Amino acid sequence: MDEQNFRLTFEKDQGVLPFYVIYLPNLPISLYRSRLERKVGKEEDLSSPQTFSYVPLASTNKYFPNLQRANFSGQSVFYGSLSPTTNFREISEDITEGEEIYMAKWNISPDANLMLDRVLPPKGTIITDNLRTLFRLDEDKSETFESFFQELGDVMMSTEEGISKYLVSALYANFIYKFKPKILPDGSKIKTFDGILYPSTKVEDGSEWNMALKPECIDQYAALQYVIRGKVAKDLRSVEFSDIGFCKKGKIHWYSPWINHYDIVPTEYFLFDASNQLVQSKNGTLYDKVGKIIPDPLAIFELQKEQWAGNYIRNYQPVLKPDVNIEELSEENLSSITYKGDGILRDVIGWKFVADGKTYDIGKIGFNLQVSSIYKRTNFPKGFNWL
């Protein structure tokens, strides 16, 4: 069926549907949500937390947002991952190394006392002990219910091709969103659900988790901590960030790195012979083309620093990796950050290196670098800037 006929047929069904309640009282939750820069519209405000939250209700229509795992077309839901490494893999099927990306960290207040429906992972998955404990994944007692939840897990976590794969999972999600509070025979009460907890389909063992939360839960209990902007790393599970924005009083304050040439310092050098083979020995003597000894090869970089450092910042930004734990950063202590860079090379002619009685014809000298930056407030993220 197409989505419209499917919803007309099943959405108002009043049958009995089992669900698995998980209650998280007084438990703070952090969720990560990412967006590819190419999918952020030019009219969107990068200083607004809403840009990195659910689609604004005023922006929805019959077709937007698209049908997804836990929402029908035109329905806005906040999707987030419990781990940033999970979230990078969730945002796009065609994500590639080096793509510009934003990642936001949202904190859910313990006061939310989240009530979630939990989707059991599909059959054959492996759950780590800490997740099994935290989310009470060993409490399925009834074989009948366990079988049902296993089947539901297969449906919710379907990776088949075609948009129709989301119809049943979106239907189930909406049953959960629309659930009305009930008092059970023992007198206990089940309140309305805040959303759904489900395993990531990007990790085969079912050990990483996502949440789909109703917008009203985010509005009432969620706060944006920071947004980082950078490039997707080679592992497709991390970001090499440059810019960082902190949310204060409903606005994102962006900071971009500025680098002076004197803050680029060579830490070690390495040599390649004329055949581009790395010369392993460092216990030797380096000679220039006229046979003069080069006592301090690092000084070669210093002599060319104005030219090389500028080219390095312009051309080698992707290899700069901040030597810092982002969770330790705040707007108040964002004075400077150190980056580790490497791989800048210079061709040389006629140089020789003598070590252990052997002479090498040298074709290149390379340097590993340490780069320090100061962060300056900016109206929008700009990447690295050269002073």
- Sorted by where each begins, the domain ranges of the chain are 3-237, 260-377
Beta bridge partners of 81: 32, 210
How long is the chain? 387
Cα 281 to the center of its chain, rounded Å: 40
The answer to which of 70-79, 92-101, 221-230, 288-297 has the lowest mean pLDDT is: 92-101
Sign of the dihedral through C-alpha 196, 200, 206, 210: negative
In which band, very low, low, confident or very high, does the pLDDT at 317 lie, cut at 50, 70 and 90? low
Contact criterion met (CB below 8 Å) for 35 and 102: yes
**Non-local CB neighbours of 324 within 8 Å, separated by 6+ positions:** 337, 338
Please write the tens of the pLDDT for every residue from 231-257: 888 877 778 888 999 999 999 999 998
The answer on pLDDT for 9 being more than 70 is yes
| Helices 143-156, 167-177: inter-axial angle, 10-degree rounding | 120
Closest by CA position to 249, among listed 130, 331, 182: 331
Please write the tens of the pLDDT for every residue from 273-297: 999 999 987 789 999 999 999 999 9
Beta bridge partners of 76: none
Contact criterion met (CB below 8 Å) for 284 and 355: yes
Q: Which helix (H) or strand (E) holds 258?
A: strand 251-259
What confidence score (pLDDT) does residue 48 get? 97
Q: Cis link prior to 18 (omega < 30° from 0)?
A: no
In which band, very low, low, confident or very high, does the pLDDT at 337 lie, cut at 50, 70 and 90? confident
- What are the distances in angstroms from CA 177 to CA 19, 212, 223, 311? 12, 10, 22, 54
**Non-local CB neighbours of 286 within 8 Å, separated by 6+ positions:** 271, 293, 294, 297, 351, 352, 353, 362
- What are the distances in angstroms from CA 345 to CA 6, 120, 260, 363? 61, 52, 20, 10
Beta bridge partners of 136: none
CB neighbourhood size of 12 (10 A): 7
The answer on pLDDT for 99 being more than 80 is yes
Pull the structure tokens for residue 130: 């800490």
Cα angle value 109/112/115 (rounded, 5°)? 135
Please write the tens of the pLDDT for every residue from 120-138: 766 655 555 655 565 555 5
What confidence score (pLDDT) does residue 249 get? 93
* Percent of residues in the chain assigned helix, strand, coil, to nearest 5: 25, 35, 40
Contact criterion met (CB below 8 Å) for 115 and 23: yes
The mean pLDDT value for 352-372 works out to 91
